[in-house]
Structure formats: structure tokens, C-alpha cells
């Protein structure tokens, strides 16, 4: 009986242990099932994405930047491919030591080091940054053979922007440069952020900046399957990038080159506009700069030389340089007087050489006057007294209200960023401009000098050319356009940018004819007669001599006693033909004296080029550069037969980019297989494996 009880006790204990073991097993299976449910159901999407990321690499493919052409199809900005040596600072422990070691293999100059340091200041540590650009085949081969020594260093093929004509039209074209941190953050906040993945460069100035959206193109991608070790296995799918659109300017680059040569070493600006369309035919600012310096990242010495030069080559004088218009302002005063009823064409003023206002004597032509002058004679002979009197009669606010619609004192709306407004003064302007109450009052004496384009008057040559075009066109207005049309590289369709007219000014045709006739008289019997002798067309114009600094009331101007930067500016406005204007222009030569000596000769040669197809000879250009030219001397040349300057190496004329030469067979370089278009700008990690596989032929 005792044994039976022990057996029952042992069986009960066994059952308990069995149940416990079963529960433990069931609990373990429950945990396993719960974990599986969590992984397979709850976290399915998250883990699936991670798995795909480990297996699939998506590489952005940067598009070729669009071309910039002149109106005749001459290529002004294109691309070429070259090899760069790049470092990723986050993958390098001793950066300075690494650079020193690299310098034993590839030439790295002090300039390269400074530029790299500047790029590091603007970039994140995990970015790949160039320490050397435009490596030749021998340098690529040397590095490739020792690549194992340099972790975090790679060679890539990149597109470089090229400006074949160097300094020519640099203020129009602008330049591209590496995207800095602030620009990256700004791009990331836009809807176009995805389109800039892999892009390192962006338009910084001029047309490159203004038409960035058109020139950049659309970024493509390559989706590649990689092994667990990150080695490329096969290409899954790809979307090729779309090259940026072609931007065709209204500028005639040969005319632009001629004008820049006529300026020589002098400072100034010229803007020529077609009054019928608003197209800008020439847009000159002198001195210029080489935009190619900025593509790679300008070195500190070149930047200091440009930035600290007294000549201010980085200043776009046509867009941002403001000048007193001098006597070129008189035709606008005349049309304002006619429109407002303050003068009739026949009404006369006696010019005795001096206008007395209170205790101040406003001077005119030397010590003598012009006698009786009506409106025509006041323009032809450039009477100061006539316009002193007119300004006094009109008052500053009426002058402002009549001339502001011509574009003075406000932006013209040209398709460039950075335009300034200039100053067309009024009593309201002065109140806003000056902070101190005692300086805000407008004094009647301040109005007098406005009549001859002095005083507070300050305008750009763009404003003066645009206003001249509006005046001679009878009030027809356009927003000036540097870009004529844009060609879609995919559809080959062109989109016209210029020729969008604004509402015209209500000018009386008879009033416009009075001004046109007077301006024509300037070239026949007035201040620019000598310059326009023998011209094969009828043109109108107006000389201007504007003070750069004021002189005392009883002191005479003597340029020989003044420093170069203090001498008067030489200005000229012109249009032609008189009966059907096809071009209107404004030109200023800084500190060059009378308008007929320096500015008018340049204007004459521009009109000869546009209307007659003639180009000045070498002797005539030399005289113009010295301010000693009148009418063209010697035989002029056919413009069509005069060649442009030689282009810089590496440029192309018919394609968006040249292809990088093939690397040596031994080179296992990420961008070795990069031809057209360029692959992703980064070849770090999986991207490097992908490019290596493509280069070796393993990836199909």
C-alpha cells in the first residue's frame, strides 16, 4: 500500500514537471511567434526598406549644363570633362599628412591647398572635395598605381564649365561656382531640391544665375543591385538625365568684342538696345574679368587682385554703375516740357552764359553764351542756361513725374539680378533718403542743376539707353532683354523671351519729331559733327560731360590739374536711323572728358557696325582707345570678315560637353567609365563599387 502511494506521488510529480516543461516550451514558441509577428507584420515595411537599401543603391546622374549662345549661334559657355583628385575629410585621420603624401605623387600647389581649405570651410566633413583639378593621364596613372595607400582619396571625372572667350562679355555671362552651405540650405527648402542631388555647382552671377532653372537640366538616376559587401551585381533600372536648355542671347558677341576693344584700358559702360523689340545688342562693362577663374574656385591672390583693384573689374557698370547723365538729359527735359506745356518748340530763352539764382551763378559755355535759343537750338548747341531756366520753371516734382515713366529712378526689369534704381530726385525721395530732418528739406536752388543732368541725378547706362529707345520710338516701351530665346533640348522647340511690349507712353508724335530733329542736328551742326562726318546713314545723338566731383563756383575746370579718377565723365546717347530707329544706345567713358572726345567715337563705330556692317581698322581702334578719334580713319573692314578671338583650350562649339579621355586599363577609378552624361558626383562606398564594376565590364 505504501509503495502504491509513492508511485502515485511520483506520477503526480512527473505530470507537474511535464506540464511545466510543456508550458515552458509553449511559452518559448509563443515568444518566437510573437517575434516573428513583430518582424513580419508590425515592422514589415521598415525592415523591408532597410533590406532594399542594403541591396539597392540609387545614384543620381548629374545633367550636362545647357549652352549659352549669342544671337548668331556663337558658343559663349559650354562644358568639358576632366579628372579631379578628391578627398573625403571624414574618412581621413591625418588630413595634412595625407595631402603631403599625395603631393609626392601628384603635383599639389599652395594655391590648391588654399582653395581646398576654403572649400572645407563651406562644406560638410563627409563631402568629397577636390584638392586638384584637370589632372592629365600621366597623373591619373601615377595615383591609380598607388591608390591603396590613400584611403578616402579618389579620382573622379567631373564636368567643368568653360567660357571660350575668357573675359569677353563676362558681366553678361557671369559664372558658376561650387554650391556653398547657405545655398544648399536654400535649395533644400525648395521643390527643386531633388533635382540638385549630386550637383556641386550653380550659377552665381549674370545669365548663369538668372537662367539657372533653364541651364541646369533634370537630374537622372541609376538603380543598381549590390552584394552584401557593397559590390555591384547588376543595373536594375535607370533614368537618363536631361541636358539643360540652350539659352540664346540677343547680344552680338562680335559687336561686344569690338566695343570692349574700343574702350581699351579705360573704364566705362555701353548698352545698345533695339527699340523695336527691347533686345540688348551690346552690354559692355569695362574693365572685365575672366569667369573661368571662378569655376574651379578662385584663389585668394586672384580674388584680392580683382576685389581690391581701384578699377573695380567685378562691378557691372552697365547694370549697377550710376552716373550723372550730364547734357544727355536735356532731350528728356525738353520732352517733359512739351508734354507738360511748360514750353513750346518756338519759345526762346536768352543764353548769356550765366544763370543767376540768388547769390549763386550757374555757369554755361565758358565765358560766353549762345544768345537766343529755342528748343531745337538748345539741344543742338547744348545750352545750359535754357535748361537751368526750364528746371526752375518746372520744379523738381514735375520733372520727376514726367520722366519717371521713361525708367529713370527705377529698375528697367532687365533679365539680370542686381540692377540698381539710380536716383531721379523728388521732394519725397529726399525726405526718405535723409534721416536727419534738417537735410530732408528740398531747396529751390537744388532744382537748377537737375536741368543739365547734374545734382542728385544718377542713372545707369541701361536706364539711359532704355529711356532713349522709348523716346525715339514715340513712347513704345519694352523691358530690356539679354536673352532672345530658349531652345528646349528635348523637343527642339524655341521659346521667344524678348519683344514683350509694355503699355506705351502717351507722347505726341509732333513732340517726338521735334526731339528727333534736334538730335539729328547734333550730328550735323552740333557737338558731335566731327565724329559723324561721312556717315552713310542719318543718326541722332547727344553729347554729355558730367562732373565726377564738384568744383568751386569761381573755379574753372582743368583736367590737367586733377587726378584721373576726379576728371569729368564722357557720355553719349545715340539712335539710328532717324526715320526708323533700329538701335538706341548710351555710353560712358569714365573720367575721359568731353562727350565728343571719348564716348561719341565709340557710338559712331557701333552704329557703323550695326547699320553698315563695317568694323574699324587697327589704327582707328588705337586712336579711339586714346580718346583721339573722330570719324573713322582709313579703310574700314567688313564685319563679317573680322574673326573673333581665339577660344580657350578644352572648349567645344556644338555639344554640351566633351568626353573625358579613357583612363589607363590599370585604373580602377570610380569615374573611369564616365562619358556622357557624368555619373554621380560622389563615388564613396557603394558608388565606388558600382563604378568599378562598370569600368571592368562586370555590370551590364
- The three-state secondary structure class of 457 is coil
Share above pLDDT 70 across residues of the chain, in percent, rounded to a whole number: 85
pLDDT at residue 522 above 50? yes
pLDDT at residue 671 above 50? no
Q: Are residues 535 and 624 in the same domain?
A: yes
Residue 496 lies in a domain: yes
* 582-587 mean pLDDT: 98
Overall domain count for the chain: 2
pLDDT at residue 662 above 90? no
Residue 3 lies in a domain: no
Region of 593 please: left (phi>0), alpha (psi -120 to 50) or beta: left
Residue 670 lies in a domain: yes
Residue 229 lies in a domain: yes
Give residue 26's pLDDT: 82
Q: Are residues 443 and 413 in the same domain?
A: yes
* DSSP one-letter code for 151: T
β-bridge mates for residue 589, sequence order: 268, 570
42 or 524, higher pLDDT: 524
pLDDT at residue 375 above 80? yes
Residue 330 lies in a domain: yes
Residue 32 lies in a domain: no
617 or 42, higher pLDDT: 617
Q: Are residues 464 and 498 in the same domain?
A: yes
Tens digit of pLDDT for each residue in 223-281?
A: 777 665 555 567 778 888 899 999 999 999 999 999 999 999 999 999 999 999 999 99
Domain limits at 79? 60-243+656-696
* 480-506 mean pLDDT: 93
pLDDT band of residue 661 (cuts 50, 70, 90) is: very low
Dihedral (Cα; 399, 400, 401, 405), 10-degree rounding = 110
* 427-443 mean pLDDT: 94
Tens digit of pLDDT for each residue in 131-160?
A: 888 888 888 888 888 888 888 888 888 788
Region of 507 please: left (phi>0), alpha (psi -120 to 50) or beta: beta
Domain with 171 in it: what CATH number? 3.90.1310.10
pLDDT at residue 335 above 70? yes
Bridge-based pairing of strands 246-249 and 349-351 is unpaired
Give residue 9's pLDDT: 74
* 155-184 mean pLDDT: 90
Give residue 2's pLDDT: 62
CA distance to 15, 180, 553, 668, 688, per residue, from 155 (Å): 73, 22, 69, 10, 10
Give residue 675's pLDDT: 29
* DSSP one-letter code for 455: T
Nine cell digits for residue 219? 537630374
Q: Are residues 234 and 140 in the same domain?
A: yes
Domain with 350 in it: what CATH number? 3.40.710.10
Q: In the predicted model, what is the mean pLDDT of the chain?
A: 85
Give residue 347's pLDDT: 97
* 472-492 mean pLDDT: 95
Q: Are residues 217 and 263 in the same domain?
A: no
Give residue 666's pLDDT: 31
Tens digit of pLDDT for each residue in 585-612?
A: 999 999 998 889 999 999 999 999 999 9
582 or 116, higher pLDDT: 582
pLDDT band of residue 359 (cuts 50, 70, 90) is: confident
Residue 36 lies in a domain: no
Residues 6+ apart with CB under 8 A from 484: 71, 248, 249, 250, 279, 496, 497, 498
* 284-291 mean pLDDT: 97
* 378-407 mean pLDDT: 97
Give residue 676's pLDDT: 31
Max mean pLDDT among 58-67, 141-150, 531-540 falls in 531-540
* 552-570 mean pLDDT: 62
Q: Are residues 536 and 685 in the same domain?
A: no
Q: Are residues 369 and 463 in the same domain?
A: yes
pLDDT at residue 59 above 80? no
352 or 691, higher pLDDT: 352
Q: Are the CB atoms for 570 and 592 separated by under 8 Å?
A: yes
Give residue 323's pLDDT: 96
CA distance to 231, 252, 263, 697, per residue, from 624 (Å): 66, 21, 8, 62
pLDDT at residue 695 above 70? no
List b or e across 666-696, with b for residues whose CB sees 16 or more CB atoms inside 10 angstroms: ebbbbbbbbebbbbbbbbbebbbbbbbbbbe
Residue 18 lies in a domain: no
Q: Are residues 145 and 195 in the same domain?
A: yes
Q: Are residues 280 and 402 in the same domain?
A: yes
Q: Are residues 286 and 195 in the same domain?
A: no
Give residue 61's pLDDT: 81
Max mean pLDDT among 11-15, 458-462, 499-503 falls in 458-462
Nine cell digits for residue 7? 508511485
Q: Are residues 287 and 434 in the same domain?
A: yes
Q: Are residues 273 and 312 in the same domain?
A: yes
Active-site annotation, residues: 327
pLDDT at residue 517 above 70? yes
pLDDT at residue 12 above 80? no
Amino acid at each position: 500500500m505504501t509503495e502504491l502511494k509513492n508511485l502515485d506521488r511520483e506520477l503526480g510529480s512527473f505530470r507537474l514537471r511535464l506540464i511545466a516543461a510543456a508550458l515552458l516550451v509553449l511559452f518559448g514558441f509563443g515568444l518566437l511567434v510573437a517575434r516573428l509577428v513583430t518582424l513580419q507584420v508590425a515592422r514589415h515595411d521598415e525592415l523591408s526598406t532597410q533590406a532594399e537599401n542594403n541591396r539597392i543603391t540609387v545614384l543620381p546622374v548629374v545633367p550636362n549644363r545647357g549652352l549659352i549662345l549669342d544671337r548668331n549661334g556663337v558658343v559663349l559657355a559650354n562644358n568639358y570633362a576632366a579628372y579631379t583628385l578628391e578627398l573625403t575629410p571624414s574618412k581621413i585621420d591625418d588630413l595634412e599628412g595625407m595631402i603631403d603624401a599625395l603631393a609626392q605623387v601628384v603635383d599639389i600647389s599652395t594655391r590648391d591647398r588654399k582653395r581646398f581649405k576654403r572649400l572645407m570651410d563651406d562644406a560638410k566633413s563627409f563631402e568629397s572635395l577636390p584638392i586638384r583639378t584637370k589632372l592629365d593621364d600621366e597623373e591619373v596613372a601615377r595615383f591609380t598605381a598607388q591608390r591603396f595607400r590613400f584611403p578616402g582619396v579618389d579620382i573622379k571625372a567631373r564636368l567643368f564649365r568653360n567660357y571660350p572667350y575668357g573675359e569677353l562679355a563676362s558681366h553678361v555671362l557671369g559664372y558658376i561656382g561650387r554650391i556653398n552651405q547657405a545655398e544648399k540650405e536654400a535649395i533644400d527648402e525648395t521643390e527643386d531640391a531633388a533635382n540638385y542631388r549630386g550637383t556641386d555647382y550653380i550659377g552665381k552671377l549674370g545669365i548663369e544665375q538668372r537662367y539657372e532653372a533653364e541651364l541646369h537640366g533634370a537630374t537622372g538616376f541609376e538603380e543598381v543591385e549590390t552584394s552584401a559587401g557593397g559590390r555591384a551585381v547588376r543595373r536594375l533600372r535607370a533614368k537618363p538625365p536631361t541636358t539643360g536648355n540652350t539659352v540664346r542671347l540677343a547680344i552680338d558677341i562680335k559687336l561686344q568684342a569690338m566695343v570692349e576693344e574700343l574702350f581699351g584700358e579705360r573704364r566705362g559702360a555701353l548698352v545698345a538696345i533695339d527699340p523695336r523689340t527691347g533686345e540688348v545688342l551690346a552690354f559692355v562693362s569695362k574693365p572685365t574679368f575672366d569667369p573661368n577663374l571662378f569655376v574651379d574656385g578662385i584663389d585668394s591672390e586672384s580674388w584680392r587682385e580683382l576685389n581690391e583693384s581701384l578699377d573695380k573689374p567685378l562691378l557691372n557698370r552697365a547694370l549697377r554703375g550710376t552716373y550723372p547723365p550730364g547734357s544727355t538729359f536735356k532731350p528728356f527735359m525738353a520732352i517733359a516740357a512739351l508734354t507738360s506745356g511748360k514750353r513750346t518748340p518756338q519759345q526762346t530763352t536768352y543764353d548769356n552764359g550765366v544763370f543767376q539764382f540768388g547769390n549763386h551763378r550757374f555757369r554755361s559755355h565758358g565765358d560766353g553764351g549762345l544768345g537766343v535759343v529755342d528748343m531745337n537750338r538748345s539741344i543742338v548747341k547744348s545750352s545750359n542756361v535754357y535748361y537751368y531756366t526750364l528746371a526752375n520753371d518746372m520744379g523738381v516734382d514735375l520733372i520727376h513725374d514726367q520722366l519717371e515713366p521713361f525708367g529713370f529712378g527705377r529698375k528697367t526689369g532687365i533679365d539680370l539680378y542686381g540692377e540698381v534704381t539710380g536716383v531721379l530726385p523728388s521732394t519725397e525721395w529726399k525726405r526718405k533718403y535723409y534721416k536727419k530732418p534738417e537735410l530732408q528739406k528740398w531747396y529751390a536752388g537744388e532744382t537748377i542743376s537737375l536741368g543739365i543732368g547734374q545734382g542728385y541725378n544718377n542713372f545707369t547706362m541701361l536706364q539711359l539707353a532704355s529711356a532713349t529707345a522709348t523716346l525715339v520710338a514715340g513712347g513704345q516701351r519694352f523691358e530690356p532683354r539679354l536673352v532672345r530665346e530658349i531652345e528646349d533640348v528635348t523637343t527642339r522647340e524655341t521659346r521667344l523671351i524678348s519683344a514683350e511690349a509694355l503699355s506705351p507712353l502717351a507722347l505726341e508724335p509732333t513732340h517726338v519729331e521735334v526731339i528727333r530733329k534736334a538730335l539729328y542736328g547734333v550730328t550735323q551742326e552740333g557737338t558731335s559733327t566731327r565724329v559723324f562726318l561721312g556717315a552713310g546713314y542719318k543718326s541722332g545723338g547727344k553729347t554729355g560731360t558730367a562732373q565726377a566731383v564738384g568744383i568751386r563756383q569761381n573755379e574753372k575746370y582743368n583736367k590737367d590739374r586733377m587726378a584721373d579718377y576726379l576728371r569729368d565723365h564722357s557720355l553719349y546717347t545715340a539712335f539710328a536711323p532717324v526715320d526708323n530707329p533700329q538701335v538706341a544706345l548710351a555710353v560712358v567713358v569714365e573720367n575721359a572728358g568731353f562727350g565728343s572726345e571719348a564716348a561719341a567715337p565709340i557710338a559712331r563705330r557701333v552704329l557703323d557696325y550695326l547699320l553698315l556692317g563695317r568694323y574699324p581698322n587697327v589704327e582707328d581702334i588705337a586712336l579711339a582707345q586714346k580718346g583721339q578719334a573722330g570719324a573713322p580713319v582709313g579703310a574700314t573692314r567688313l564685319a563679317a570678315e573680322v574673326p573673333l578671338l581665339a577660344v580657350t583650350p578644352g572648349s567645344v562649339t556644338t555639344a554640351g560637353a566633351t568626353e573625358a579621355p579613357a583612363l589607363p586599363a590599370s585604373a580602377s577609378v570610380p569615374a573611369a567609365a564616365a562619358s556622357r552624361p557624368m555619373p554621380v558626383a560622389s563615388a564613396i562606398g557603394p558608388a565606388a563599387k558600382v563604378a568599378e564594376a562598370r569600368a571592368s565590364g562586370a555590370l551590364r
